[in-house]
Amino acid sequence: MARIEYADPAKANDRTREILGKNRNANIFRMMSHSPSYFEQYCRLGGAIRHKGELDPVVRELAITRTGILCEAPYEIVAHKRIGKGVGVTDEQNAALEDWTTATCFNDVQRAALAFTDEIVRLRRPTDATFNAIAAKLTPRALIELQLSVGFYIMTSKFLETFGIDLQPVSEVV
């Protein structure tokens, strides 16, 4: 149960209502819309991460979902397993993300990105070996996008857990 009430879209300004509508009035966005200016900028960066990058969308979604797992954010995990399936993450890969290090369903780039993700979330920064392994496989642009994706979804996971955002039935978010 959410720790504070969700914002009422009917009471929001036109721009906030427009953004909420584009995002199916999902609970995370209804909560965030208590601060319209932050909400708008959050959605702008989130949109760039999800739709305007060079980073392979499968790698991105694996990293985002793994971030949600490490941050213990069920809403994030459920949402991005679904989004991941839409860009090509397999059911086997989604199932293996809890303990990806022993799984055989990830390629070398995906494994390097998952190791990078684990260290960003668990440590203050990745080790040189982990950084060099992923840097050898991605362009500088894609590497920046991977790090910013993980960082953005650490923040998102913490937001979800801080405010106790309620999961929504699949029928509401599909």
**pLDDT tens per residue across span 14-73:** 999 999 999 999 999 999 999 999 999 999 999 999 999 999 999 999 999 999 999 999
Residue 89: its H or E element: none
Same domain, 78 and 146: yes
Total-model pTM: 0.93
- Residue 174 pLDDT exceeds 80: no
For residues 169 and 34, give the distance between their C-alpha atoms in angstroms, rounded to a whole number: 23
Domain membership of residue 34 as a residue range: 9-51
Number of domains in the chain: 2
87, 144: one domain = yes
Q: How far apart, in whole angstroms, are the C-alpha atoms of residue 113 and residue 128?
A: 14
86-106 pLDDT, tens digit per residue, is 999 999 999 999 999 999 999
